[in-house]
Amino acid sequence: MKTMRVQLESGGIDQIRAETVIVPTLRRGETPSDLPQGLAALDRRLSGRLGDALASGDFKANAGDRLVIHAPRGGVLVRCVLLGLGEAESVDDNALRELGGHVGREFKRSGSDRIALIIPPASELAADRSACLIAEGAVLGAYRFDRYLSRTRSDKKKKEATTGRLDLCFVRAPRSLASLRRKVAESVEIAGCQVVARDLSNEPPNVIYPESLAREARRIAREVGLFCRVLDVPEMTRQGMGAILAVGQGSAHPPRMIILEHRPRGRSKTRRGKPETLALIGKGVTFDSGGLSLKTAAGMPEMKHDMSGAAAVVGAMRAIALLDLPIHVVGILAAAENMPSGAAYRPSDIIKSASGQTIEIVNTDAEGRLVLADAIHHAVSRYAPSALIDIATLTGAAMVAFGPWATAGLGNDEALLGEVRAAADATGETVWPMPLLDAHEKAMRSKVADWKNSAGRDAGISTAAAFLRGFVAKTPWVHLDIAGSGMTSNQTPLHIGGGTGVGVRLLTQWVRSRAS
């Protein structure tokens, strides 16, 4: 994976060596007609054109506004881009992240391989936090998924966009450049892990299927120092994982249970004298045709993204390893392809999960909860985690209820749900609660088995969660349904559409909060 390099510059504005300079500009009153503080040196390099442009009043500096000023020919500096931030009071984390997104897009727009960004003076915005948020946004905004395009733009341009360099410059250098450098590097690293998740989610299903997902997980594990173990069909059969095996049995690509493990290098968090373990479980259905309960043609193409939960776990585990967070974390990807065939599982089949509980299949399209049931049981019985989070593109109902704008969060432990929501708020990924009632569990009970795998359309998010609750035993647990937030056709400054990589930042943040 190639992401941009982000560098903190300690020199003044006259030392900028980039061909594009971006100046985020706050709106002051009607129009920002005077030069922002400290930019006289830049204006000189632009032969006064920056001052002229601002004096004209054409640039209002509303959020999203953009004005390009070209520099005199012959110098290193080719252009200066003013990006509007809106009124200072309205500038929050998200505005800064989105500003970073616009910065990232400049790489794609201009083909520049080096862009300098002038962080607004500390008197106006907290330089530390804004530098981190802008850097994070820039990595996400520069993202593209174009590896299968043979020749649209020049190859040169492509290469530059993915390996570009962003210089962060300051009007007034912050007090501790070293500590800021570390924080920005972490933000860039975590955003890079979100990019890894996006790539996995966006890869087509003929490229990412359970075995190749396992290969990728292994490769990434080796790269960052995670332990990786892959359970194949004979091993899963030995462990009685009848649920994931049933989902995978109709496919030419056999299922895999992929286990990633972060064992901290130094001291590690303990709980009542024993090392504490956290578990992250991702739904890894690499393609969901619905199986014999076949989906409609219209609903099928997006189903390559049905492994976005697993992708988020890979991304988060990679970040956790890179940051070497001082706590033991196990990530499990429940990988299967849900296909119709003569070997496929059928509606009316009764299967036995690894936990020993039996499940009547009433709809082969409710497969996510089945692969998760065995993964959750594996995590709980093998690792006895003090908390477990599963993340899954589980229900169309979550897509309808939340669209791309929020993730449904349910669980059996209010405190843990609070922790997860706090982590999500900190990273700008909204998690919203839904009810989980005994009535939902009752709706999932079968007359002929311990469970059935679907209760139909009513309360789809909650009934799916009630089923999962049956497999966590007493473990504090939160379920995140990212069916809406994990994939989208919406374009935003941070996102080109497709797999969003949602969950990487929040899971990393949650583990980090548990580790401290």
Could you say whether residue 203 binds Mn ion (CB under 5 A)?
no
Question: Considering beta carbons, is residue 368 or 409 the nearer one to Zn ion?
Answer: 368
Pairing of strands 277-288, 328-338: parallel
Stretch in the footprint of ligand BES (CB under 6 A) among 63-71, 193-201, 387-395, 427-435: 387-395
| Phi, psi dihedrals of residue 260, rounded to the nearest 5° | -110, 140
Write down the least CB distance from residue 368 to Zn ion, Å. Answer: 4
Question: Considering beta carbons, is residue 277 or 407 the nearer one to ligand BES?
Answer: 407
First to last CA, the chain: 29
Amino acid at 373: A
Could you say whether residue 434 binds ligand BES (CB under 6 A)?
no
- Whether the CA torsion 431, 281, 276, 355 is positive or negative: it is positive
Could you say whether residue 288 binds Mn ion (CB under 5 A)?
yes
Among 363, 446, 492, 513, binds ligand BES (CB under 6 A): 363
- How many CB atoms are located within 10 Å of the residue 31 CB? 16
Instruction: Indicate which of Mn ion, Zn ion, ligand BES, none lies near residue 399 (CB less than 5 to 8 Å, by partner kind).
Output: ligand BES
Map the footprint of Mn ion across residues 360-419, applying CB under 5 A: 365, 367
Stretch in the footprint of Zn ion (CB under 5 A) among 50-58, 293-301, 305-313, 448-456: 305-313
* Burial label, 516 (beta-carbon count in 10 A; 0-12, 13-18, 19+): exposed
447 is catalytic: no
Map the footprint of Zn ion across residues 278-297, applying CB under 5 A: 285, 288
CA dihedral 470, 471, 475, 476 (to 10 degrees): -60
Structure token digits, residue 471: 């497999």
Question: Considering beta carbons, is residue 338 or 427 the nearer one to Mn ion?
Answer: 338
Could you say whether residue 393 binds ligand BES (CB under 6 A)?
yes
Write down the least CB distance from residue 366 to ligand BES, Å. Answer: 4
Could you say whether residue 349 binds ligand BES (CB under 6 A)?
no
65-94 footprint of Mn ion as x/- string (CB under 5 A) = ------------------------------
Write down the least CB distance from residue 288 to ligand BES, Å. Answer: 5
Could you say whether residue 390 binds ligand BES (CB under 6 A)?
no
d(C-alpha 133, C-alpha 141), whole Å = 12
- CB-CB contact of 306 with 396 (8 Å): no
Residues 6 or more apart whose Cβ sits within 8 Å of residue 244 = 236, 255, 257, 334, 336, 370, 371, 374, 375
Map the footprint of Zn ion across residues 226-285, applying CB under 5 A: 285
- CB-CB contact of 161 with 108 (8 Å): yes
Could you say whether residue 368 binds ligand BES (CB under 6 A)?
yes
Active-site position among 198, 369, 452, 514: 369
Could you say whether residue 302 binds Zn ion (CB under 5 A)?
no
CA distances from 322 to 221, 264, 315, 506 (A): 11, 10, 11, 16
Residues 6 or more apart whose Cβ sits within 8 Å of residue 305 = 201, 202, 393, 486, 487, 498, 499
Could you say whether residue 446 binds ligand BES (CB under 6 A)?
no
Instruction: Indicate which of ligand BES, Zn ion, Mn ion, none lies near residue 483 (CB less than 5 to 8 Å, by partner kind).
Output: ligand BES
Among 24, 164, 282, 460, binds ligand BES (CB under 6 A): 460
d(C-alpha 233, C-alpha 337), whole Å = 13
Among 199, 261, 360, 365, binds ligand BES (CB under 6 A): 365
Structure token digits, residue 229: 């173990």
Question: Considering beta carbons, is residue 173 or 294 the nearer one to Mn ion?
Answer: 294
Report the alpha-carbon angle 226-372-513, nearest 5: 50
The single residue listed with the structure tokens 């059935």 is: 452
Question: Considering beta carbons, is residue 367 or 419 the nearer one to Zn ion?
Answer: 367
Quote the DSSP letter at residue 90.
Answer: G
Which residue, 493, 497, 510, is CA-closest to 140?
Answer: 493
Quote the DSSP letter at residue 89.
Answer: G
Map the footprint of ligand BES across residues 303-342, applying CB under 6 A: 306
Map the footprint of Zn ion across residues 310-369, applying CB under 5 A: 368
Active-site position among 215, 295, 382, 445: 295
Pairing of strands 270-271, 274-275: antiparallel
Instruction: Indicate which of Mn ion, Zn ion, ligand BES, none lies near residue 388 (CB less than 5 to 8 Å, by partner kind).
Output: none
Question: Considering beta carbons, is residue 320 or 334 the nearer one to Zn ion?
Answer: 334
d(C-alpha 283, C-alpha 376), whole Å = 10
Among 200, 376, 399, 466, binds ligand BES (CB under 6 A): 399
Binding site for Mn ion (CB under 5 A): 288, 365, 367
Q: Indicate which residues carry an active-site annotation.
A: 295, 369
Query: Which positions touch ligand BES (CB under 6 A)?
Result: 288, 302, 306, 363, 365-368, 393-397, 399, 454, 460, 483
